[in-house]
Amino acid sequence: MFDLTTKTEGVLATFDALVDDARHYAKASRAPNTRRAYETAWQQFNAFCSSHGLQALPAEAHTLAAFVAHLAKLGRKPSTIDTKLAGVAWFHRQAGHSFDTRLMSATVQGFKRQAGTAQRKASALLTDDIRAMVETCEDDLKGKRDRALILLGYASAMRRSEIVGLDVALGGDGGGYIEFTNEGLLITLTKSKTDQMGDGQSIAIPFAEGELCPVTALRVWLDASGIEDGAIFRGFKNRHTFDAAHLLPTRMIAQTIDRTVKSRAKSAGLMQGGRPISAHSLRSGFATEAARGGADISMMQQQTRHTKVETLLGYIREADRFGPRNASRRLGL
């Protein structure tokens, strides 16, 4: 006899399994860094709600508006607040709740209007700056690492997450690997911000003449450190001993790239007057210097992998700010 109940239960079990799979795929659709940012935002939102006796899930509009005001009072930038709200919204939608943004949007817009939304961009580090920075690198293992990191980051225009994610060879747990060739260095990124599906992206860095060759600097670092597999860029067990015996087995974190770039820039005297410098200064410096050198959009895009041409056009405009295309030169002054 046909058992309708058993068949129905089987269909429902299959459906529940499909729903679980869908949630898993939805979670995987976000890059690891984005997921971490969203998880942090959700934890902070939960803590805020708990301390004020408010319901976090689902949250009402006035709760979201109060959270925005709280973040503003803490001095958070508009871009940071946007990220926090995106995280809260994502967790709501994953839980099957709608996300009411009406009052929240008015609060955010009011805050942005009052605080101003102009971002303080990282200052571009150009080739002369890079030269000054690598000249501060000592001949010990830390100096060799920093030299390779700065030159490679500059010539490849990689993001800091991509730099720390590099492994010596295919098969590591990072986001890319390298291959030395007769012409230079080939970097294959298996995961990146603009390649969420993992199709793979390649960056070629040819040998350069002189002391600023990033390929040579990387080879020197790997040979001196004895690193043959796993993460390329690593930290040290303490802050005073920089030899292979005190090298950590784990990869550096992205924030350490920032600290390294800032430290070398400061030692080179490049941070006077509060000049904003970060790891992104290497990437923006590449685009600016390449534009000044006559590189066209396609050449730059091949290295930077920008998906929006408008971003690269911004670097070109900045590089040519005082150049022959400046309209003020047509005034006859």
- Find the helix packing angle between 61-73 and 78-94, rounded to 10°: 150
Q: What pLDDT is attached to residue 144? A: 97
Q: What pLDDT is attached to residue 11? A: 45
Which architecture, in CATH terms, is 127-319? Orthogonal Bundle (1.10)
Q: Which residues contact 213 (CB under 8 A, 6 or more apart)?
A: 151, 207
Q: What pLDDT is attached to residue 214? A: 97
**pLDDT tens digits for range 40-92:** 989 999 999 999 999 988 888 888 888 888 888 888 877 788 888 888 988 88
| Residue 222 CB neighbour total at 10 angstroms | 18
- Residue 141, amino acid: L
Average pLDDT per consecutive 10 residues, the chain (333 residues; last block may be shorter)? 49 51 50 80 92 89 85 82 87 82 62 58 89 96 96 95 94 91 95 61 93 96 95 90 88 92 95 85 91 86 84 76 76 77
Instruction: Give which of 303, 308, 302, 262 is closest to 281, Cα–Cα.
Output: 262
Instruction: State the number of CA atoms in the 13 A half-sphere of 30 facing the CB.
Output: 17
Q: Which CATH superfamily is domain 31-115 in?
A: Tyrosine recombinase, N-terminal domain (1.10.150.130)
Q: What pLDDT is attached to residue 116? A: 56
| Residue 2 CB neighbour total at 10 angstroms | 5
Each domain of the chain, given as residue ranges in start order, spans: 31-115, 127-319
pTM of the prediction? 0.68
